[in-house]
């Protein structure tokens, strides 16, 4: 997929790939930290991948104007997208913010912005790492 095609995707499609990419970042990180027991992996992964965690990261990013205008466009596209799925363990607003978060990861991945995606991940780590067991 080229950049132009990626930029035309809807927010749900961007969030779909962004969720998978972010999950790989989290899983690799946890394994690198030496976690191998399924219960501990799941407990710590949730601290990164839950809608509440992603909303917390976006809030922290907002406080320091971390996202570029380009990224904000895709965050809003994801946040405002009408999804057929519903939030399981959180309110609708938090769920929509997390969809926007995942859309940003998706657009950065699909447009091959590897350095910026790494900066994004480093920000996520800095924000969540203190909560890890």
**117: domain CATH number?**
1.10.1520.10
Please identify which of the residues 19, 32, 65, 91 carries the catalytic annotation: 19
| CA–CA–CA angle 24, 133, 23 (5° rounding) | 10
Give SS3 for 65: coil
* Residue 30 CA neighbour count, 13 Å, CB half: 24
d(CA 100, CA 75): 4
Model's pTM, two decimal places?
Answer: 0.93
pLDDT at 32: 95
Give the position of tokens 């999804």.
Answer: 83
Give the position of tokens 């990224």.
Answer: 71
Verify whether residue 19 is a known catalytic residue.
yes
- Domains contained in the chain, number: 1
Task: Name the region of 93 (left: φ>0; alpha: ψ -120 to 50; beta: rest).
Answer: alpha
List the domain range (segments joined by +) for residue 115.
3-131
Tens digit of each residue's pLDDT, the chain (133 residues): 899 999 999 999 999 999 999 999 999 999 999 999 999 999 999 999 999 999 999 999 999 999 999 999 999 999 999 877 777 788 999 999 999 999 999 999 999 999 999 999 999 999 998 776 5
pLDDT at 75: 98
């Amino acid at each position: 997929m080229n950049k132009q095609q990626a930029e035309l995707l809807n927010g749900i499609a961007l969030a779909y790939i962004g969720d998978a990419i972010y999950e790989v970042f989290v899983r690799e990180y946890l394994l690198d930290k030496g976690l191998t027991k399924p219960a501990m992996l799941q407990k710590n992964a949730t601290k990164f991948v839950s809608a509440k965690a992603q909303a917390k990261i976006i809030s922290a990013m907002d406080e320091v104007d971390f996202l570029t205008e380009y990224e904000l466009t895709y965050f809003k596209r994801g946040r405002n997208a009408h999804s057929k799925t519903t939030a399981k363990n959180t309110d609708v607003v938090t769920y929509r913010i997390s969809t926007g978060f995942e859309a940003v990861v998706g657009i950065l991945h699909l447009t091959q912005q590897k350095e910026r995606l790494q900066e994004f991940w480093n920000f996520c780590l800095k924000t969540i790492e203190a909560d890890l067991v």
